[in-house]
Amino acid sequence: MEKEQYLLTIEYLGFRFHGFQKQTNAKTVQEFLDKTINYVLESQQFKTFSSSRTDTMVSAHKMLVLLQTRGKIEKENFLEELNQNLPTDIRALEFKYHPEKINIIGDVKEKTYHYYFSIGDKINPMAAPFMHNFQMELDLDLMQKACKEFLGVKNYFHYCYKGTEEKDYQRELVEVQIYENDIINANFFPEKSYYLKVRGKGFLRHQIRLMMGALVNVACREISLEELSESLKDNYRGKKVNFIAPAAGLVLYDISF
């Protein structure tokens, strides 16, 4: 049988998963997705490849998955059956035939991430899967100024988990800004919450969480705007960011090809 391929768009709450990519000793989104596809396709041969590898507890509002199969999928109600059998924290949004050649990672034009957070009094525990609560005073105006330091082409060696000198750490970001949260809501959310929006073609491991950590350090006056700016230069060899924001607030919000 000839190899066929499809694009599957999914969303998921990552709070109970150890990331997207399948692992041998942990629950992942890909594991549950593959098990469900195998059940629906009645053991028809297939492979899945994701457009991004979200980490433990990170969620996705829009994740694209390349589904390669041996022979065409004949089920007209494939998407419906998939959603009927997926766990409640994973949902398939769209499914379409894609005969053209595609590099599911390399052909990505832009990714948008949101990091949701609140400031001040401890929040309702029910909100924990969706946002992080910083129980401290943070200068949001200063954080907004600091966001501008990340714009353009910068060196993110100091914003990559376990980075080595053997890799290209230059990345270009076209938007880095903090907004008041009007996207996700629930009656157990705090009265006010926010999100850091970051747009760019690609990101390093834990880059956005380290960026958020640096913004918190600036807001607490632990580092200055000048020190933040220096940390993004090619020749900077000072200390790395000492705070990585917790994972649960991070969401892959959008992705485009």
Checking if the pLDDT of 29 tops 60, the result is yes
CB 232 within 8 A of CB 223: no
Domains 3-97 and 110-256 alike in fold? yes
Residue 137 CB: number of other CB atoms within 10 A?
9
Of 217, 242, 211, 209, whose CA–CA distance to 136 is shortest?
217
Show me where the domains of the chain are located.
Answer: 3-97, 110-256
Of 84, 75, 79, whose CA–CA distance to 94 is shortest?
79
For 53-69, what is each residue's pLDDT tens digit? 899 999 999 999 999 99
What CATH number has the domain spanning 110-256? Answer: 3.30.70.660
Within 8 A by CB and 6+ apart from 216, the residues are: 134, 138, 143, 243, 245
pLDDT in the model for residue 100: 87
For 96-115, what is each residue's pLDDT tens digit? 999 888 888 888 999 999 99
pLDDT in the model for residue 166: 59
CB 220 within 8 A of CB 136: yes
- How far apart (Å, rounded) are the C-alpha atoms in residues 116 and 21? 23
* pTM for this predicted structure: 0.94
pLDDT in the model for residue 43: 80
Q: What torsion do the CA atoms of 163, 210, 200, 224 make, to the nearest 10 degrees?
A: -110
Within 8 A by CB and 6+ apart from 123, the residues are: 131, 133, 189, 190
Q: In the numeric block, which tokens belong to residue 10? A: 């999914």
3-97 fold: Alpha-Beta Plaits (3.30.70)
Long-range CB contacts for residues 163-171, cutoff 8 Å, separation at least 24: 163/204, 169/204, 171/200, 171/201, 171/202, 171/203, 171/204, 171/207
Checking if the pLDDT of 78 tops 90, the result is yes
